[in-house]
Amino acid sequence: MPSPYREEHDQFRNTVRQFAQKELAPFADEWEKAENFPNEVFRRAGELGLFAAHYPEEKGGLGGDYWFSIAKSEELTNSLSAGVSMALLVQGDMATPVISDLGTKEQIDEFLKPALRGEKIVALGVSEPNAGSDVAGIQTTARRDGDDYIINGAKTYITNGTRCDFVTLLVKTNLDTGSHGCSFFLVPSNTKGFRVAKKLQKMGNHASDTAELAFEDMRVPKRYLLGEENMGFMYLMQNFQTERLIACSSAIGGYRLAIKEAIAYGGDRKAFGKPIIKREYWQHKFVDLLTKVEAGHALTYRAAEAYNDERYVKKGPISLDTVKLISMCKIFVGEMGTEVIDQCLQFHGGAGYMDEYHISRAYRDNRLLRIGGGTTETMRYYVAKLLGL
């Protein structure tokens, strides 16, 4: 395919790269150890247009297409912190698209616009202690009571959960149906009955906060219902596509960086009389790894092209063919990336096992890709179903 990028994309890409390299990367180790980073990072990202670039102007965006988001996700890997990158991508690409798609003018003004400016931090509340990839199994409920809904339940694995100003929350509104009885609500975190049950400790992505949230007789006004009641599962399936696609794009950027750092390390590190990168075995290994990354990159861009065409050109819903393509992309990039990161760590030898080297952190962080946003096994189930198998 011809390059999807124009001059304005390149300028935006450079802005994100400079932000990641100069304002984020110098603090990556500090924030990793602190298991947190300043909220000011969200506001600064908002000032630079990182969240708003691919949203319509009338909704607080800058009017760009989806390729702005792809470029952003690739360049944020230069922050050297997958945790920070993930938190920012949740803000701009996972918790907010459904608000742009469904929100009323009042909801756009109250929630979306300040989120795109980085003034309000947002989380996406879908996973539960007993319902992860099987979204139809969620048990958090919303019961109608006059002009309000009363919500009870819990959410877990929520990125930005400990510091969010509001949550884009999926709950059950019809207990007599399966997945089609779900609805989305916009819930401010200062709502009575909203509680951060605990901050969760993770294997990787330490710089981002992850929480378990609890809701106890939480009263939410009807005006915070997002879209139509009981249509939340359909909305989520559309929203999931950008979450999965942007995760793949970000991962590809991370794999390129890991290989680049490994090759640089191999030029300095000598074993048995010469730099280890001069060993034919490792030269061939990196050729194979780079070839696989290029294949993953091509598949990601093909999926992004289809997504951009349907959402930004035709301005319609995502087709099942594109859903299938994005699911295949997540399967391939996740499996391929596991090999890439593992081999880059192996190339470092004992040094790769030490936290002082970025590859050690990348190894832990990358493991999430095959789980978050739908496990690899779930993706295979979806694709098999779409293929009529």
Torsion (CA) 15, 17, 18, 24 in degrees, nearest 10: 120
Same domain, 276 and 297: yes
CB burial class (10 A; 0-12, 13-18, 19+) of residue 123? buried
Q: Please report whether residue 316 resides in a domain.
A: yes
Report the pLDDT averaged over residues 283-298.
Answer: 98
128 neighbors 138 (Cβ within 8 angstroms):
yes
Same domain, 251 and 341: yes
Q: Which pLDDT does position 132 carry in this prediction?
A: 72
> Residue 36's CB: how many other CB atoms inside 10 A?
18
Q: Please report whether residue 263 resides in a domain.
A: yes
Q: Which pLDDT does position 176 carry in this prediction?
A: 78
pTM: predicted TM-score of the whole model, two decimal places: 0.95
Looking at residue 289, its amino acid is: L
- pLDDT tens digits, residue range 86-144? 999 999 999 999 999 999 999 999 999 999 999 999 999 999 998 877 777 899 999 99
Report the pLDDT averaged over residues 321-349.
Answer: 97
Q: Which domain holds residue 205?
A: 123-226
Tokens of 367: 């493991």
3-class SS of residue 6: coil
Q: Which of 88, 120, 152 is the C-terminal boundary of a domain?
A: 120
- pLDDT tens digits, residue range 216-228? 999 999 999 999 9
Same domain, 273 and 368: yes
Report the pLDDT averaged over residues 153-159.
Answer: 97
Q: Please report whether residue 154 resides in a domain.
A: yes
Same domain, 353 and 367: yes
> Active-site residue among 212, 243, 261, 310?
243
Report the pLDDT averaged over residues 274-292.
Answer: 96
Q: Which pLDDT does position 137 carry in this prediction?
A: 84
Lowest model confidence (mean pLDDT) among 251-260, 269-278, 296-305: 269-278
Q: Which pLDDT does position 144 carry in this prediction?
A: 95
Q: Which pLDDT does position 178 carry in this prediction?
A: 63
The CATH number for 267's domain is 1.20.140.10
pLDDT category of residue 179 using cuts at 50, 70 and 90: low
- pLDDT tens digits, residue range 51-75? 999 999 999 999 999 999 999 999 9
Q: Which pLDDT does position 241 carry in this prediction?
A: 95
250 neighbors 85 (Cβ within 8 angstroms):
yes
Q: Which pLDDT does position 323 carry in this prediction?
A: 96
The CATH number for 114's domain is 1.10.540.10
Q: Is 119 a catalytic residue?
A: no
Q: Going by C-beta distance under 8 Å and a sequence separation of 6 or more, which residues neighbour residue 126?
A: 135, 138, 155, 170, 236
Same domain, 249 and 382: yes
Q: Please report whether residue 15 resides in a domain.
A: yes
Same domain, 336 and 254: yes
Same domain, 14 and 116: yes
Q: Which of 120, 151, 186 is the C-terminal boundary of a domain?
A: 120
Q: Please report whether residue 32 resides in a domain.
A: yes
Same domain, 142 and 184: yes
Q: Which pLDDT does position 133 carry in this prediction?
A: 74
Same domain, 32 and 142: no
Q: Please report whether residue 1 resides in a domain.
A: no
Q: What is the mean pLDDT of the chain?
A: 96
Same domain, 72 and 152: no
Report the pLDDT averaged over residues 140-166.
Answer: 97
- pLDDT tens digits, residue range 23-48? 999 999 999 999 999 999 999 999 99
pLDDT of 321 > 80? The answer is yes
The CATH number for 213's domain is 2.40.110.10
Q: Please report whether residue 2 resides in a domain.
A: no
Report the pLDDT averaged over residues 6-34.
Answer: 97
Q: Which pLDDT does position 213 carry in this prediction?
A: 98
122-125 and 148-159 as β-strands: parallel, antiparallel, unpaired? unpaired
pLDDT of 372 > 80? The answer is yes
Same domain, 217 and 74: no
Q: Going by C-beta distance under 8 Å and a sequence separation of 6 or more, which residues neighbour residue 1?
A: 301, 302, 305
Q: Which of 211, 226, 241 is the C-terminal boundary of a domain?
A: 226
122-125 and 166-172 as β-strands: parallel, antiparallel, unpaired? parallel
Report the pLDDT averaged over residues 237-251.
Answer: 95
Count the domains in the chain.
3
Same domain, 59 and 142: no
